[in-house]
A and B are shown apart, each in its own frame.
Chain A
């Protein structure tokens, strides 16, 4: 891998948003199991969990504190969706009720106008301790994404991620990736789906090459990484000279259109 590729990989990894999805029922059962409270487990499970209680369970089961916790009802069941705190790359694992080998859906998203952008793109990683079909609900849930991903969701809406969700479900077999772009949206989207046993999130790129796919996508568009590097430096210098535009890096900005 060239230095330029490594730079882009680093940037994408830095801009990675990791969403974890677990079943509310399984989380409670795992917690009861952990506490040795194994008698009549099914009867002790609360049908409707709240976010505060869910955060406590995640902490006690997984040993880490989630950054944001949202509860959602998909497919007639309640799910806990949470984000780790910044830099948190733990995965919630269980011994009996939670999957030891979660399914991972990884989407690396880069602007088509990358050469002119100061941003290299970002990555959304969904760690699913539930069946892959739930990803369909997650990726189409505008309200959830707005809450979990913050301002970048406006860009996600522009991409029309929901239009790619069906394709993502069609890849739920591991070891496969697709690259697509959506007409009228200034992005290239790469999706990788895989099931990893006992994986480490830091090593994920070695097995699920979403970011590599994105680099290949740039190459297909005839964009060399050297051009990106040059233009990015130029844009950063522009920002240094015009600091009033710095907020535009983080969200929609009056007077600045596109990415």
Chain B
């Protein structure tokens, strides 16, 4: 009986603490969006001490975007803390740090690791409806399969952006079930057309051995076409 009462009391106190923490984060967010980084930082630091993942993410943003004293090391530390707790946007920011070589050694493959982790952690939902715009601007609603068919026709007719879009769809597995070999083939086709981002992803697939046998040689050859300097090793 005493134990149960104690448990209920503890849960009540914990609930109060979470509500208070959430309000503190909200207040700090408002300060952040109003450009008051000093007030925002103070609020987020307090909330982060109490375990707020969101606060860690914003502290990273403040460190990174401070116009006078950008501190990428501090940003890296906060984003890493948040990413460990599955914060998708923090993962994206880690990708940006690796891509730009800010606070870390520049590495495009590690950047892509984080970008992809972020996309998966985002729990992206499929759109509810799809429309295709006609020449007159009128929108016609189409089914998912019609939409994929529309894209496939465009891709097969040689439209590079459609190839990339289709590859992204098969890669992400949000609109249709993920199909990595299909994704790779469309990325490769777009990359052959000179699509830089597609070439970067082809390189990544080869470097990480995703759906194709790992080949550092092919990975580096494709990456070279994108202007990035990282070597796959």
A150: B residues at CB distance < 8 A: 33
Interface residues of A in 137-179 (CB under 8 A from B): 137, 140, 142-143, 146-147, 150-151, 153-154, 157, 160, 162-164, 166-167, 169-179
Cα A159 to Cα B15 in complex, Å, equals: 25
B222 contacts A by Cβ under 8 Å: no
Cα A178 to Cα B129 in complex, Å, equals: 6
Interface residues of A in 34-91 (CB under 8 A from B): 73-76
Q: Is B133 within 8 A of A173, CB to CB?
A: no
Q: Is A170 within 8 A of B137, CB to CB?
A: no
Q: Is A209 within 8 A of B228, CB to CB?
A: no
Q: Which of B33, B130, B137, B141 contacts A206 (CB 8 A)?
A: B137
Q: Is B122 within 8 A of A169, CB to CB?
A: no
Interface residues of B in 101-158 (CB under 8 A from A): 101-102, 106, 108, 119, 122-134, 137-139, 141, 147, 150-151, 154
Nearest chain-B residue to A133 (Cβ)? B197
B65: A residues at CB distance < 8 A: 143
Q: Is B133 within 8 A of A180, CB to CB?
A: no
Q: Is A163 within 8 A of B172, CB to CB?
A: no
Q: Is A172 within 8 A of B164, CB to CB?
A: yes
B125: A residues at CB distance < 8 A: 163, 180, 182-183
- For chain A, give the interface size range: 35 or more
B159 contacts A by Cβ under 8 Å: yes
Q: Is A179 within 8 A of B29, CB to CB?
A: no
Binds A, one of B1-9, B92-100, B203-211: B92-100
Q: Is B99 within 8 A of A157, CB to CB?
A: no
Q: Is A209 within 8 A of B124, CB to CB?
A: no
Nearest chain-B residue to A144 (Cβ)? B65
Interface centre among B123, B129, B154 (most CB of A within 10 A): B129
B73 contacts A by Cβ under 8 Å: no
Cα A205 to Cα B139 in complex, Å, equals: 11
Q: Mark A211-236, 1 if CB is under 8 A from B, else 0.
A: 01100110010000000000000000
Given A76-B228, A164-B124: A220 and B129 interface contact (C-beta under 8 Å)? yes
A18 contacts B by Cβ under 8 Å: no
B165: A residues at CB distance < 8 A: 169-173
B154: A residues at CB distance < 8 A: 173
Q: Is A142 within 8 A of B89, CB to CB?
A: yes
Cα A173 to Cα B168 in complex, Å, equals: 12
4 additional A-B residue pairs with CB within 8 Å, beyond A147-B35, A172-B161 = A170-B165, A172-B165, A183-B125, A195-B161
Q: List 17 A-B contacts (CB under 8 A).
A: A74-B96, A76-B99, A76-B106, A76-B108, A131-B197, A133-B197, A140-B89, A143-B61, A146-B33, A162-B122, A164-B127, A166-B168, A167-B175, A177-B133, A192-B133, A207-B133, A217-B129
